[in-house]
Amino acid sequence: MNFIFLGPPGAGKGTLAAKVAEAYNIPHISTGDIFRDNIKRQTPLGVKVKAIIDSGSLVSDEITCELVKDRLSKDDTKKGFILDGFPRTIPQAEALEKFSKIDAAVNFDIADEAVVERLSGRRVCKSCGANYHIKFTKPAVEGKCDKCGGELYTRDDDQPESIKHRLVVYREQTAPLIDFYRNKGNLTDVDARPAAEKVLEEFKAKFPQK
């Protein structure tokens, strides 16, 4: 099946996408990964994207769609795929329809207050990048990484004011996609509040493997 994952920052889309990709044996495709891969391989589009990012500008819908179209043409997507971070806007969704069929848009539903609690409590290791949470996944020693002993810190975009701003941007730009796909009859809501394993169970129940 071809999936689009929707939901606000902090809904756990990336974590779930990785688990679903493994369980269903389909690739998890994020636009960030596509950008990085093309830049690393120095493809013509990658060179263009690097120049745009280096200048501080946003990559246009046209270039983003070209990169996604190219990625979806690869052999590993024949059994299905998960798109995470694309489309972000209605024009991108309309462009996607011209080169790919989407079976289900999955909306990982979670209240803003839960997102703020989830993200503001996140702590990241400065050395190895491991993630912890002051409430849900505490390190054995406060402020120290269990894996490498590195110092844990709060990312700038995990500060409460920054999270609230990201949620405003999401509601304005990306949330209209929920109505777009609901009107097409292929939107499915999944409760993103429980632990990842519980959310995966609900996902599997709603999308049984053939």
Active site residues: 13, 88, 122, 155, 166
Tokens of 59: 């990559």
Report H helices in the chain.
13-24, 31-41, 44-54, 61-72, 90-97, 112-120, 160-173, 176-184, 196-206
Tokens of 29: 């495709």
